[in-house]
Amino acid sequence: AQSVAQPEDQVNVAEGNPLTVKCTYSVSGNPYLFWYVQYPNRGLQFLLKYITGDNLVKGSYGFEAEFNKSQTSFHLKKPSALVSDSALYFCAVTTPSNTGKLIFGQGTTLQVKP
Amino acid sequence: DAGVIQSPRHEVTEMGQEVTLRCKPISGHNSLFWYRQTMMRGLELLIYFNNNVPIDDSGMPEDRFSAKMPNASFSTLKIQPSEPRDSAVYFCASSLAPGEFGDTQYFGPGTRLTVL
């Protein structure tokens, strides 16, 4: 069965510092990996995805993520956090054989303090 | 681009009543997904349509739930009869290509359903 783990319920970081939100996955076959962000009372906004190719993926708002096949990880990173980055972040995975069904992690709340 | 449109944004109803949630996908998108978000279970896929045809409904919790997509620009999720445990935020998402190709799913703002 496919699964996604986000081991941290909350990540706290000071504005201007680098941030990392962790994600590991378990699938059979090649993964398609996604990061979404959810602001309060809003839908999910797409940040970035890995399908194939370069392991370092760059996305919206200065975020990037690195696909690591050996560690089955897809951690989200940003060099310099902003207070406005504070939100709930979801990692998700699917595979070509899974009819597009996205399996989501439980989410990580990012709190950036001024 | 209007994005995915959902209505209503909030719905409060009493147990036993019928509830209908509506979704308009992004124009030109061929795949549509209904998700449910709860604190206990997180985000879970309920049903997935491709070219208006249901492809995977394994996530539909029980017969009280039904979904239709009569045309490329409209889908409904119906709960009849509703129960308090159905209280959740229901999201609709659409993608240009079928999910098997890893195409990005774009989410609507959600419908917050409260069943009293």
- Tell me the pLDDT tens digit for each residue of B86-113: 999 999 999 998 766 788 999 999 999 9
Nearest to A107 among B31, B42, B110 (CB): B42
The answer to whether A35 touches A110, Cβ cutoff 8 Å, is no
Q: Strand locations in B63-116, DSSP E?
A: 65-71, 74-79, 88-95, 106-107, 111-115
For B8-62, write each residue's pLDDT tens digit.
999 999 999 999 999 999 999 999 999 999 999 999 999 999 999 998 898 998 8
Q: Cβ of A18: how many Cβ atoms within 10 Å?
A: 10
What is the per-residue pLDDT across B69-90, written as a single tens digit (0 to 9) for each?
999 999 999 999 999 999 999 9
Per-residue buried b or exposed e for A51-65, using 16+ beta carbons within 10 Å of the residue's own CB:
beeeeebebeeebbb
pLDDT tens digit at each of 114 positions of chain A: 889 999 999 999 999 999 999 999 999 888 999 999 999 888 899 999 999 889 999 999 999 999 999 999 999 999 999 999 999 999 999 888 776 788 999 999 999 999
Cα–Cα distance, B87 to A42 (Å, whole number):
17
Intra-chain end-to-end CA distance of chain B, in Å:
36
Tell me which DSSP letter residue A31 carries: -
The pLDDT, as a whole number, for residue A101 is: 82
- In chain B, which residue's Cα lies nearest the Cα of A97? B100
Look at residue B1 in the predicted model and tell me its pLDDT.
63
**Cross-chain residue pair B98–A98, CB shorter than 8 Å:** no
- Yes or no, beta carbons of B99 and A36 under 8 Å apart: no
Look up residue A103 and give its two tokens: 């399996």
